[in-house]
Amino acid sequence: MKKFQAVFLFMFLIACSPSQPVLPTVSYDIETTSTPPATLPTLTPIPTTMPAATLTPIGGGSGKITFTSERDGEQGIYVINTDGSNLVELAGDIPSKFYPAWTLDGAKVSFSTATEKSASLYIIDADGSNLVKVLDTSEIRAYDQISPDSTVGISCCTVWSPDGEKIIFKTSRDVGRFGSIGHIHILNLTNNQKFDFRAAGWAGIFWSSDSSKFGVIGTDRCGGFWLCVMNTADGIPVDLKGIYSVTFPSNLYWSPDGKKITFAAFWNSKNMDVFVLDEDFSNAINITSTLVNGQNEGPVWSPDSQKIAFTSCDVNLCELYVANADGTNSIKLTPQILGLNSMVWSRDSEKVVYVSVENGNSEIFIADSDGSKSINLTKHPADDSNPVWSPDGTKLAFVSDRDGNDEIYIMNVNDQYVFRLTKNDTNDFSPIWLP
């Protein structure tokens, strides 16, 4: 049973800093692997009788979904057709693959592996070709003159730039009685340019829409401030024009059109609020200043960059709101509900899908952004979670344990017709539609 709760965990790891390790030159020795496709059992449709939430296709559909599975005794990354055929494991000869991260165009995926003393970061094409080892942390340890025997691991989570040319990841090293030390690494795959820096913590990293900047929450790169934005080319901090003083910032997101930025933080208020700024960090607006009875957080941009969805929470009870990017026309979409999370906009920016707890289990809902209607899409006694829109905006992939363990299902949103995509005795999870 999945449980949802609002938890803030903020921790600084303060230690004597050794000299920063120098990353070795990245080797692009390509190892290619292929795995024969497997066939899944016949799908069993599960009809439902919910009222319709009509959607119109807005783009091309996708016939493939990727997911993570433990079906072979170790965690692996798989690609499958949406009719359940042609199941393929990527890099099947490499065991225990963690933290998969896909480029926005679905062309490549990165993943990590680990041994007792080191870890590696790989990149592979979606069709299983062009396997590249980007990093082996045992090579970093060889350059470490302070603690050459320390264990260096790759931490969650790897983040691709929108243009698919750059990748950010974090390593952490165990330095005995001093605890652990984290470093954030930025690698440009087109020219092999790279740099890294100490990270006092790790509460999230976010790319600008044009990939020219990235923001890190929980780093000392900007002189100990919690919020830091840097230029991708050289890691030089950007002038944030006075917003350094925010406390516990989170969810730093550039709008899809790149013209605005939003984040949540405590800033001159006893409440956590949602702020919107121009892309140069000027003209900050508190769009939740009138919501004084809860903590306002989790801003999510609509695909057209015109609206922002966010939650206003009192302990575990939350309300879902949508407001214009300038803070006007704030509309409450839900009453107070338990465990509200996983908000995802529809591709036409007219609806928001979210997960909340109803009758003791998590359900997937869809709400009109004007507040006129909210529908329980799943309405099942099992836990349903992790909704992901299809490229054409008419289907949702999601995870459910309705058959005894986590499996991936696909729903036609217009008529709530559901069928099970995967069938396995172990867990299948984290579905992603390929564009």
Find how far residue 341's CA is from the centre of its chain. 13
Q: Is residue 181 in some structural domain?
A: yes
pLDDT, residue 186, reads: 87
Residue 388 lies in a domain: yes
Is residue 375 a part of any domain in this protein?
Answer: yes
Q: Are 84 and 421 in contact (CB under 8 A)?
A: yes
Give one word for 257, left, alpha or beta, with left for phi > 0 and alpha for psi -120 to 50. alpha
Distance in angstroms (rounded) separating the CA atoms of residues 113 and 137? 11
Residue 290, domain member (yes or no): yes
Closest by CA to 78, choosing from 102, 57, 54, is: 102
Residue 137 falls within a domain, yes or no? Answer: no
Inside any domain, residue 154: yes
**pTM for the full predicted model:** 0.80
| Helix (H) / strand (E) containing 173 | strand 166-174
- What CA–CA distance (Å, rounded) separates 379 from 377? 6
User: How far is Cα 313 from Cα 341, in angstroms, rounded to an integer?
Assistant: 11
pLDDT of amino acid 180:
62
For residue 90, being part of any structural domain is answered with no
Helix (H), strand (E) at residue 152: strand 152-160
Q: Which domain holds residue 223?
A: 39-61+146-433
* Per-residue confidence in pLDDT tens, the chain, 435 aa: 433 333 333 332 223 333 333 333 333 333 333 333 333 333 333 333 334 455 555 444 558 999 999 888 888 999 999 999 999 999 999 888 888 889 999 899 999 887 766 778 899 999 899 999 988 877 654 334 444 454 566 666 689 999 999 998 887 766 565 556 677 888 898 888 888 877 766 667 899 999 999 988 877 677 666 788 999 988 888 988 878 778 888 889 999 999 999 999 988 878 899 999 999 999 999 999 999 888 999 999 999 999 999 999 988 799 999 999 999 999 999 999 998 999 999 999 999 999 999 888 999 999 999 999 999 999 999 999 999 999 999 999 999 999 999 999 999 999 999 999 999 889 999 999 988
CB atoms within 10 A of CB 396: 27
Q: How many domains does the chain have?
A: 1
Three-state DSSP class for residue 45: strand
In this structure, what is the dihedral angle of CA atoms 120, 433, 3, 366, given to the nearest 10 degrees? 160
Residue 396 is encoded by which pair of tokens?
């949702």
CATH number, domain of 178, equals 2.120.10.30
Question: Is 369 in contact with 324 (CB distance < 8 Å)?
Answer: no
Report if residue 68 sits inside a domain. Answer: no
pLDDT reported for residue 143: 38
Q: For residue 277, what are its two tokens?
A: 């700024």
